[in-house]
Amino acid sequence: MSSKYAVFTINDEEYGMDVIEVSTIEKGLAIKKMENAPENVKGKTDLRGDEIPVYSLRKRMGFEDRNPDKDTRFLIVNSKGINIAVEIDRMTGIVDVEDKDIHDVPKVAKNGGNSYIKSIANMGEGRLILILDGGSLLTDDELAALRPKK
């Protein structure tokens, strides 16, 4: 068996997300300021009439933030019941990965701060792709801040 993954780069490193978790891939989204936004949220964008948070994977991973350019894309993902636009540096493609090539993240590499890393895909020839869990991108604090107030 194999699965399809949307593969992209952040800071010149390759990451992937199961295509089942990605509803669409967008480009050129306008980002507006958002009051009291969590640290990893750059703002919000209007996507076909819905305002959704724009989430910076660069910030979440501890990299310096940068302004969107012609290669920037946004993966529209549902994370714990909230649709978010996950900003990525560059989309590299959709790839098939055999189940035998997917490996668990070593326990020593997994901690609360990177629990969104689901597995590692060995693509051969020294090429490894960290597979992210779109449903686990938001921290509990981010989730609480982004949930609509009742």
Contacts of 147 (CB under 8 A, 6+ apart): 82
Q: Are 71 and 88 in contact (CB under 8 A)?
A: no
Dmax (CA) of the chain: 52
Residue-level pLDDT at 148:
73
Q: Which among 121, 137, 148 has a CA at the least distance from the CA of 41?
A: 137
Report the percent of the chain where pLDDT is more than 90.
73
For residue 51, the model assigns a pLDDT of: 94
pLDDT in tens, 2-45: 899 999 999 999 999 999 999 999 999 999 999 889 999 999 99
Structure tokens at 32: 């507006």
- Contacts of residue 27, Cβ cutoff 8 Å, sequence gap at least 6: 72, 73, 74
Nearby residues of 100 by Cβ (< 8 Å), 6 or more positions away: none
The pLDDT value given to residue 27: 95
pLDDT of residue 109: 60
Q: What is the rounded average pLDDT of the residues 50-70?
A: 93
Pick the more confident residue, 96 or 110. 96
CB of 89 within 8 A of CB of 72? yes
Task: Give the rounded distance of the alpha carbon of 2 from its chain centre.
Answer: 21
Contact yes or no for 121/131 (Cβ under 8 A): yes
Backbone angles phi, psi at 143, to 5 degrees: -60, -45
pLDDT over 60 at 119, yes or no: yes
pLDDT tens profile 68-87: 999 999 999 999 889 999 99
Domains in the chain: ranges and CATH: 2-146 (2.40.50.180)
Q: Which phi and psi (to 5°) does residue 92 adopt? A: -105, -20
The Cβ-side half-sphere exposure at 78, using a 13 Å CA radius, reads 5
Residue 88 reports pLDDT greater than 60: yes
pLDDT at 10 (0 to 100): 95
How much is the mean pLDDT over the chain? Answer: 90
pLDDT above 60: residue 123: yes
